[in-house]
Chain A
Amino acid sequence: MAIKELMTACAIVALAAIPTSVSAKTLVVGVQDNLTGLDPANVNDTLSQTSLRTVYQGLFGFDRDMKLVPLLAERFEASPDATQYTFHLRRGVKFHDGTDFNAQAVKVNIERLANPENRLSRRSLVSMVDRVEVVDPYTVKVLLKEPFGAFPNNLAHPGAMIISPAALEKYGKEIGRNPVGTGAFKFKRWAADTFETERNETYWKQGLPKVDGVTIRSVPENGSRIAMLQAGEAQFVTPLPPEMVAVAERNPNLEVVKRPSIVAWYVAMNTMRKPFDDVRVRQALNYAVNKQAYCKVVESGYCDPTDSPLPSLLQFYKQQEPYAFNLEKAKALLAEAGYPNGFETEMFGKNNTTAIRAMQFLQQQFAQVGVKVKVEPLEAGVEAQRVWGVSKPEDATVRMQFAGWSSSTGDADWALRPLLASTSFPPAMFNVAYYRNDAVDKAIVSAIGTADPEKRAAFYADAQKQIWQDAPWVFLGTNQLLTAQSKGLSGVYMLPDRGFSLEEASFKD
């Protein structure tokens, strides 16, 4: 009798405990760094930008494979010469403060970002804009000063997300602390190491969001971040260092997720200086590195060897013939170039663990063909000084730099032009290899001069082939993005540019 009663009681408790399909609560994300600001047009780190995607949206966005998708714009038309774009906007969208989203809001935002007097650090995204015209409340036309075929991609960048015009008016410069957008979550609080949002009840996407809010907490120590997840204080942590994968996989409540990235790692060689002015030397160093071993040693195997100047997830990527690991060929090329016994040189890069490990690995690889490399891990400010503290290319002291890059607009242009166009020599941009090839320059300019995807693809195919042959870099690998999450969480995933998407987060239990 007593047992029966007990069982009935248990059943009642169990019934009461069954959640109504989805139990809503706040999602806590553990990250490594602090956010640096909340004005999307004025922040430059991936973490701040991607975190702001909870509150803000652009006319376009990216899906999980970094493909362009419409968000606040429903569709667009471009003139064939890529100088005029007409955007048709989504109707019935409201900002968190109740303001209507419309063509006027788009005009205000693009003009704000493009105005040099506002001194916004993301201005280059729209600096080619001549003027913005409101055609009707839901159609906006943007006229460019020069052709720019990747313009919708630039508008998909977090820097070009749309802020409530009423909030811009109200807060002025303080908008960087009071974000008001159209996103799935409303801003609640930002303190030293915590960014809090709550659900937007009137979000325009049906059925979203499914959680009460999102909190992004900075937990710099890798071990502590995993502990937070194990203790249930966070449900998603990023990044997960490769050496922690085994720990997380042993825990039955956790799930480790691996996702491809568009973060390409390479060694830039100063092509204006001896011995790197000789293409045979640069090719020889490409043959001298075992890329599989690089991935294994530096990224614990969570990495794919590079096979094009463009990462494979970017649009217009074209695979090239790999520089297969071949010491004999490397030595022969070096001998042909007049360095049968190799040479001495130096390489610098960042001073974090991964960069140091990578440079030491490369040092060992190059030593196999007699190239002795002095490795210099540099603190960020010192490195910036070494790269950008030059006025003329001839003054550059850089020999080799170990670096990584991800195209934050998801477009081939931003993956090639800042790094490999001759207009991008420091201090203008990041062409640390001082690589100049007129054919490549022409292809990059022509590709951006048209809005026709087929033509663009052809130009970028030429550029990739030429760059691959010229080998201004030692091409290394593209690392995978590792995260750990609690098993009850779904709908959260990393984007290939190291950002994350939280909008569809939901808990099942």
Chain B
Amino acid sequence: MFNYLIRRLIGTVPVILVISLLVFAFVHLLPGDPARLVAGPDATAQDVAAVRQALGLDRPVWEQYAVFLGNAVQGDFGISLKTRRPVSEEIGERLMPTVWLTVASMAWATVVGLLIGVLSAVKRGRWQDYTGMLLAVSGISFPSFWLGLLLIDAFSVQLGWLPTGGYGTWQHFLMPSLTLGLGVAAVMARFTRSAFIDIAREDYVRTARAKGVPERFVIWKHTLRNALIPVITMVGLQFGFLLGGSIVVETVFSWPGLGRLLVDSVSYRDYPVIQAEILLFSLEFILINLAVDVLYAFANPEIRYK
């Protein structure tokens, strides 16, 4: 298992290299001159040229890539073209708020989604199932933008209990994590339900029941444990997506997250920030995939890695 992990980690290096090249090529292919965007619409041609020089954008592209890669290896992602602050700082400032919001949202969404899913599957075709799935469909369909504003109006403006937005105390987490987690919980519930129903049809479940295993063991041990494999995949994917930041939730709750940073950087053609962020997201996905593979082995001891 340990050797397997080491091999997988080493295997990520070429992947990251290829991604870095693709990302670099991609951002430089975007139409639009960053020097012009940084200098602003009322800058003279001379001002724009000065900015281009100051940002090193006047050098050949391959040279820019070499410099970027050389520095990136040493953990230096350069300076943001827009704010002229180190990229590591721009991202660092927003990374932990994004991670914590992701964790806070995933934690409750996974538990609630799983419970609703199991309940709906077990009580299939009865009112618990209908209620659960009604909730799930509503959760997926409810625009998080609107939900966020409704929450702000109720809890911040009318009741005055929670801050309207920003990052800080635990109170700041409640509304954003509810808004962000709702969709995830809904997806989880539907996913768990269908996985559970599939497994419940398997012969060994029938055998377990036939030999007199108590129903709660049948549900939690025999069925759920096997149904967990696709559910873990789903959790991993959702986790990865949320780590990329959510533009809607970050915008509504003025949350200093990575999603808005990426969008702002793209519209500003802030090459270093875009590159670093996409590399970070790729790395996150690679690590999450690895974690998901490891979790499979825990859920199902038949899966072994060599």
Nearest CB in chain B: distance from A7 CB, A: 29
Q: Which listed residue (B34, B40, B47, B163) contacts A123, Cβ 8 A?
A: B47
* Chain B positions within 8 Å of A230 at CB level: 156-157
Given contacts A36-B82, A220-B251, contact A119 B54 (CB under 8 A): yes
Main secondary structure on B side of the interface with A: helix
B136-152 interface with A by 8 A CB criterion = 148-149, 152
A288-305 interface with B by 8 A CB criterion = none
Given contacts A219-B165, A388-B36, contact A123 B48 (CB under 8 A): no
Q: Which listed residue (A220, A414, A429) contacts B260, Cβ 8 A?
A: A220
Q: Which interface residue of B44, B46, B164, B266 has the most chain A CB atoms within 10 A?
A: B164
* Chain B positions within 8 Å of A123 at CB level: 46-47, 50
In the complex, the answer to whether A124 meets B44 with C-beta atoms within 8 Å is: yes
A122 to B34, CA, bound (A): 16
In the complex, the answer to whether B47 meets A381 with C-beta atoms within 8 Å is: no
Chain A interface residue count, CB cutoff 8 Å, equals 49
Which residue of A is nearest B162, CB measured?
A231
Q: Which listed residue (A34, A193, A227) contacts B153, Cβ 8 A?
A: A227
A43 to B44, CA, bound (A): 14
Q: Which listed residue (B38, B40, B157, B267) contacts A227, Cβ 8 A?
A: B157
Q: Which interface residue of A191, A224, A385 has the most chain B CB atoms within 10 A?
A: A224
Given contacts A231-B157, A384-B33, contact A430 B84 (CB under 8 A): no
Nearest CB in chain B: distance from A294 CB, A: 22
A86-135 interface with B by 8 A CB criterion = 116, 119-124, 127
Asked if B304 is at the interface of the complex by the 8 Å CB criterion, the answer is no
A385 to B267, CA, bound (A): 12
Asked if A428 is at the interface of the complex by the 8 Å CB criterion, the answer is yes
In the complex, the answer to whether A44 meets B38 with C-beta atoms within 8 Å is: yes
A224 to B250, CA, bound (A): 11
Q: Which listed residue (A121, A191, A231, A427) contacts B164, Cβ 8 A?
A: A231
A413 to B213, CA, bound (A): 89
B50-98 interface with A by 8 A CB criterion = 50-51, 53-54, 82-85, 90, 93-94
A176 to B80, CA, bound (A): 13
In the complex, the answer to whether A382 meets B256 with C-beta atoms within 8 Å is: no
Q: Which listed residue (A228, A385, A427) contacts B31, Cβ 8 A?
A: A385
Asked if A1 is at the interface of the complex by the 8 Å CB criterion, the answer is no
A220-242 interface with B by 8 A CB criterion = 220-221, 223-224, 227-228, 230-231, 233
Asked if A16 is at the interface of the complex by the 8 Å CB criterion, the answer is no
* Chain A positions within 8 Å of B164 at CB level: 219, 224, 227-228, 231, 233
Asked if A446 is at the interface of the complex by the 8 Å CB criterion, the answer is no
Asked if B32 is at the interface of the complex by the 8 Å CB criterion, the answer is yes
Which residue of B is nearest A228, CB measured?
B164
* Chain B positions within 8 Å of A127 at CB level: 44, 46
Nearest CB in chain B: distance from A41 CB, A: 11
Given contacts A36-B83, A123-B50, contact A221 B93 (CB under 8 A): no
In the complex, the answer to whether B94 meets A388 with C-beta atoms within 8 Å is: no
In the complex, the answer to whether A224 meets B254 with C-beta atoms within 8 Å is: yes
Nearest CB in chain B: distance from A395 CB, A: 16
In the complex, the answer to whether A429 meets B40 with C-beta atoms within 8 Å is: no
Q: List 18 A-B contacts (CB under 8 A).
A: A37-B84, A45-B40, A124-B44, A177-B85, A220-B260, A223-B152, A224-B152, A224-B251, A224-B254, A231-B160, A380-B32, A381-B31, A384-B41, A385-B31, A385-B33, A414-B42, A418-B42, A430-B41
Closest 10 CB pairs of A and B: A381-B32, A44-B40, A119-B54, A119-B50, A192-B256, A385-B31, A219-B254, A428-B45, A230-B157, A124-B44
